[in-house]
Amino acid sequence: MKVIIINGPNLNFLGIREKGVYGNTTYEEMCSYLYKEAKKIQVHVDIVQSNIEGEIINFIQGAYEKYDGIIINAGAYTHYSIAIFDAIKSISINTIEVHLSNIQAREEFRHKSVIAPACYGQICGFGKYGYVMAINALVQQ
Ligand code: DQA
Protein backbone atom coordinates (compact mmCIF):
# COMPACT_ATOMS: atom_id res chain seq x y z
CA MET A 1 0.00 0.00 0.00
CA LYS A 2 1.27 3.46 -0.98
CA VAL A 3 0.16 6.60 0.81
CA ILE A 4 1.13 10.21 0.23
CA ILE A 5 1.00 12.71 3.07
CA ILE A 6 0.51 16.25 1.79
CA ASN A 7 1.21 19.10 4.18
CA GLY A 8 0.22 22.66 3.45
CA PRO A 9 1.30 26.16 4.43
CA ASN A 10 3.35 26.86 7.54
CA LEU A 11 3.60 23.23 8.57
CA ASN A 12 7.30 23.37 7.67
CA PHE A 13 7.54 25.80 10.60
CA LEU A 14 6.47 23.26 13.21
CA GLY A 15 8.69 23.60 16.26
CA ILE A 16 8.99 27.33 15.53
CA ARG A 17 5.38 28.50 15.08
CA GLU A 18 2.90 28.84 17.99
CA LYS A 19 4.48 26.17 20.18
CA GLY A 20 1.59 26.43 22.63
CA VAL A 21 -0.72 25.14 19.91
CA TYR A 22 1.52 22.90 17.80
CA GLY A 23 4.21 21.80 20.27
CA ASN A 24 8.00 21.70 20.10
CA THR A 25 8.41 18.90 17.58
CA THR A 26 10.00 20.18 14.37
CA TYR A 27 8.65 19.34 10.93
CA GLU A 28 11.69 17.11 10.25
CA GLU A 29 11.19 15.25 13.55
CA MET A 30 7.53 14.72 12.74
CA CYS A 31 8.38 13.33 9.29
CA SER A 32 10.95 10.89 10.77
CA TYR A 33 8.34 9.75 13.30
CA LEU A 34 5.77 9.19 10.53
CA TYR A 35 8.18 7.25 8.29
CA LYS A 36 9.04 5.03 11.28
CA GLU A 37 5.39 4.44 12.27
CA ALA A 38 4.37 3.71 8.66
CA LYS A 39 7.17 1.16 8.34
CA LYS A 40 5.87 -0.66 11.44
CA ILE A 41 2.49 -1.12 9.76
CA GLN A 42 4.11 -1.92 6.41
CA VAL A 43 2.73 1.04 4.51
CA HIS A 44 4.93 2.91 2.07
CA VAL A 45 4.64 6.60 2.82
CA ASP A 46 5.90 9.65 0.95
CA ILE A 47 5.65 13.06 2.61
CA VAL A 48 5.53 16.38 0.75
CA GLN A 49 4.96 19.95 1.87
CA SER A 50 4.25 23.25 0.15
CA ASN A 51 3.21 26.72 1.15
CA ILE A 52 1.71 27.23 -2.31
CA GLU A 53 -1.89 26.28 -3.10
CA GLY A 54 -1.18 25.34 -6.75
CA GLU A 55 1.65 23.02 -5.71
CA ILE A 56 -0.69 21.26 -3.30
CA ILE A 57 -3.11 20.75 -6.20
CA ASN A 58 -0.23 19.38 -8.30
CA PHE A 59 0.62 16.92 -5.50
CA ILE A 60 -3.03 15.76 -5.38
CA GLN A 61 -3.24 15.35 -9.17
CA GLY A 62 0.18 13.67 -9.18
CA ALA A 63 -1.16 11.03 -6.79
CA TYR A 64 -3.65 9.86 -9.44
CA GLU A 65 -2.96 6.21 -10.33
CA LYS A 66 0.20 6.28 -8.18
CA TYR A 67 -1.06 6.15 -4.60
CA ASP A 68 -3.74 4.15 -2.80
CA GLY A 69 -4.45 6.84 -0.25
CA ILE A 70 -3.90 10.51 0.50
CA ILE A 71 -3.57 12.14 3.91
CA ILE A 72 -3.83 15.89 3.71
CA ASN A 73 -3.25 18.65 6.21
CA ALA A 74 -4.03 21.66 4.06
CA GLY A 75 -3.26 24.13 6.88
CA ALA A 76 -5.21 27.37 6.51
CA TYR A 77 -6.24 26.46 2.93
CA THR A 78 -8.57 23.96 4.63
CA HIS A 79 -10.89 26.80 5.48
CA TYR A 80 -11.26 28.40 2.05
CA SER A 81 -9.68 26.52 -0.84
CA ILE A 82 -12.39 25.36 -3.20
CA ALA A 83 -9.56 24.53 -5.63
CA ILE A 84 -8.20 21.91 -3.21
CA PHE A 85 -11.75 20.58 -2.68
CA ASP A 86 -12.10 20.24 -6.48
CA ALA A 87 -8.70 18.53 -6.80
CA ILE A 88 -9.63 15.92 -4.17
CA LYS A 89 -13.00 15.37 -5.91
CA SER A 90 -11.21 14.92 -9.26
CA ILE A 91 -9.33 11.80 -8.24
CA SER A 92 -10.82 8.60 -6.95
CA ILE A 93 -8.41 8.09 -4.07
CA ASN A 94 -9.45 7.72 -0.44
CA THR A 95 -8.40 10.97 1.19
CA ILE A 96 -8.28 11.70 4.90
CA GLU A 97 -8.03 15.20 6.29
CA VAL A 98 -5.76 15.62 9.31
CA HIS A 99 -5.13 18.56 11.64
CA LEU A 100 -2.66 18.61 14.48
CA SER A 101 -4.84 20.89 16.58
CA ASN A 102 -8.51 20.53 17.43
CA ILE A 103 -9.87 23.02 14.91
CA GLN A 104 -13.31 22.88 16.58
CA ALA A 105 -11.85 24.20 19.84
CA ARG A 106 -10.11 27.16 18.18
CA GLU A 107 -11.19 30.40 16.46
CA GLU A 108 -14.54 30.22 14.70
CA PHE A 109 -12.98 30.67 11.25
CA ARG A 110 -11.23 27.32 11.75
CA HIS A 111 -14.42 25.42 12.54
CA LYS A 112 -15.37 25.08 8.89
CA SER A 113 -13.40 22.88 6.53
CA VAL A 114 -14.38 23.37 2.89
CA ILE A 115 -12.38 20.27 1.91
CA ALA A 116 -14.09 17.96 4.44
CA PRO A 117 -17.02 17.01 2.15
CA ALA A 118 -14.49 15.76 -0.44
CA CYS A 119 -12.68 13.60 2.12
CA TYR A 120 -13.40 10.16 3.48
CA GLY A 121 -13.00 11.45 7.03
CA GLN A 122 -11.38 14.03 9.26
CA ILE A 123 -9.04 13.54 12.23
CA CYS A 124 -8.08 16.52 14.36
CA GLY A 125 -6.69 17.31 17.78
CA PHE A 126 -4.30 14.39 18.21
CA GLY A 127 -1.07 16.05 17.11
CA LYS A 128 1.27 14.01 14.91
CA TYR A 129 -0.45 10.81 16.06
CA GLY A 130 -3.43 11.89 13.94
CA TYR A 131 -1.45 11.02 10.80
CA VAL A 132 -0.77 7.53 12.18
CA MET A 133 -4.49 7.13 12.88
CA ALA A 134 -5.15 8.17 9.28
CA ILE A 135 -2.66 5.63 7.90
CA ASN A 136 -4.38 2.91 9.93
CA ALA A 137 -7.78 4.07 8.71
CA LEU A 138 -6.61 3.83 5.07
CA VAL A 139 -5.29 0.31 5.68
CA GLN A 140 -8.79 -0.71 6.84
CA GLN A 141 -10.36 0.40 3.51
C1 DQA B 1 -3.86 23.16 11.09
C2 DQA B 1 -5.08 24.00 11.54
C3 DQA B 1 -5.32 25.16 10.60
O4 DQA B 1 -6.43 25.93 11.03
C5 DQA B 1 -4.10 26.07 10.58
O6 DQA B 1 -4.28 27.11 9.65
C7 DQA B 1 -2.83 25.33 10.31
C8 DQA B 1 -2.63 24.03 10.96
C9 DQA B 1 -3.54 22.03 12.09
O10 DQA B 1 -2.83 21.12 11.71
O11 DQA B 1 -3.97 22.08 13.25
O12 DQA B 1 -1.93 25.82 9.65
O13 DQA B 1 -4.17 22.57 9.85
Confidence check: pLDDT of 141 > 90? no
Q: Say if CB 47 and CB 5 are below 8 A apart.
A: yes
pTM: predicted TM-score of the whole model, two decimal places? 0.97
Average pLDDT over the chain, rounded to whole? Answer: 97
Sign of CA dihedral 11, 17, 21, 24: positive
Residues in the chain: 141
Q: Please state the rounded mean pLDDT for residues 119-127.
A: 98
Hey, where are the domains in the chain? 2-140
pLDDT digits (tens, 9 = 90+) for 64-92: 999 999 999 999 999 999 999 999 999 99
- Within 8 A by CB and 6+ apart from 72, the residues are 5, 6, 7, 8, 56, 60, 84, 88, 95, 96, 97, 98, 115, 119
Could you tell me the distance, in angstroms and rounded to a whole number, from the CA of residue 100 to the centre of ligand 1?
7
Confidence check: pLDDT of 140 > 90? yes
Q: Please state the rounded mean pLDDT for residues 94-118.
A: 98
Q: Cite the active site residues.
A: 22, 99
Q: What is the C-alpha separation between 51 and 123, in angstroms, rounded?
A: 21
Return the residue whose CA atom lies nearest to atom 8 of ligand 1: 75
Please list every protein residue whose CB sits less than 6 Å from any atom of ligand 1: 10, 73, 75-76, 78, 99-101, 103, 110
- CATH fold of the domain at 2-140: Rossmann fold (3.40.50)
Return the residue whose CA atom lies nearest to atom 9 of ligand 1: 99
Q: What is the C-alpha separation between 120 and 128, in angstroms, rounded?
A: 19
Q: What is the pLDDT of residue 43?
A: 98
Q: Please state the rounded mean pLDDT for residues 114-132.
A: 98
Could you tell me the distance, in angstroms and rounded to a whole number, from the CA of residue 91 to the centre of ligand 1?
23
Q: Which atom of ligand 1 is nearest to the CA of 101?
A: 11
Confidence check: pLDDT of 109 > 90? yes
Q: What is the pLDDT of residue 14?
A: 98
Could you tell me the distance, in angstroms and rounded to a whole number, from the CA of residue 128 to the centre of ligand 1?
12
